[in-house]
Chains A and B, each alone.
Chain A
């Protein structure tokens, strides 16, 4: 089944404790992206990647890191989480070609930082 998976789905952590949210897709998509969703603010792009070893900052990259060492994986790293990073996070992937830019979203990760 074609899908985007994220782990963990729920995470409660404390300020300053490094964490990684994994994202994997099995559709051979070139494009992958991370978003955070907050009430009243919609979806805001954190980082995106057009291909392996290519990453770019989105609208809200501060406090986050990403890597794209393999085509299928795009982990999101919070090296020193703070309470203002409490949010719902979505990973997404897309063919990223001239034919289709449809983004397929993962199930989401709800992160709480205390």
Chain B
């Protein structure tokens, strides 16, 4: 099956700086890569996703890049704010072969005011 690895496990940045979280996957059949944000005590919520036919996607301060050849994808958050502090999870899925989802182990991001 698929194996998704996520790094770093913890990340601290100063407010206004950028944060980058990286994930790698093993199954070349994976074609859908979402990122979820989970605030303390809350449920995960989708913040951005990308499909394998796209190399980059942006939504305001958040961007995701995908390198299919190297099998890795990254989340970029610019101009970080204290409310960006949360745990972020990457995931991979193959929508062509059943939609099983594989999540990374999470990155705890702390934005220091």
Q: In the complex, which range does the number of interface residues on chain B fall in? A: 20 to 34
- Chain A interface, number of residues (Cβ within 8 angstroms): 24
Q: How far is the CA of A103 from the CA of B43 in the complex (A)?
A: 11
CB of B44 within 8 A of CB of A43, answer yes
A53 within 8 A of B: no
B73 within 8 A of A: no
Chain B residues with a Cβ under 8 A of chain A: 1, 6, 9, 32, 34, 36, 43-46, 49, 89, 91, 93, 95, 98-106
Q: A42-B89, A101-B93, A108-B43 are in contact. List 12 more A-B contacts (CB 8 A).
A: A40-B9, A44-B103, A45-B102, A48-B99, A50-B98, A59-B100, A98-B95, A101-B99, A102-B34, A102-B46, A103-B34, A105-B43
Q: How far is the CA of A107 from the CA of B67 in the complex (A)?
A: 33
Q: How far is the CA of A96 from the CA of B101 in the complex (A)?
A: 12
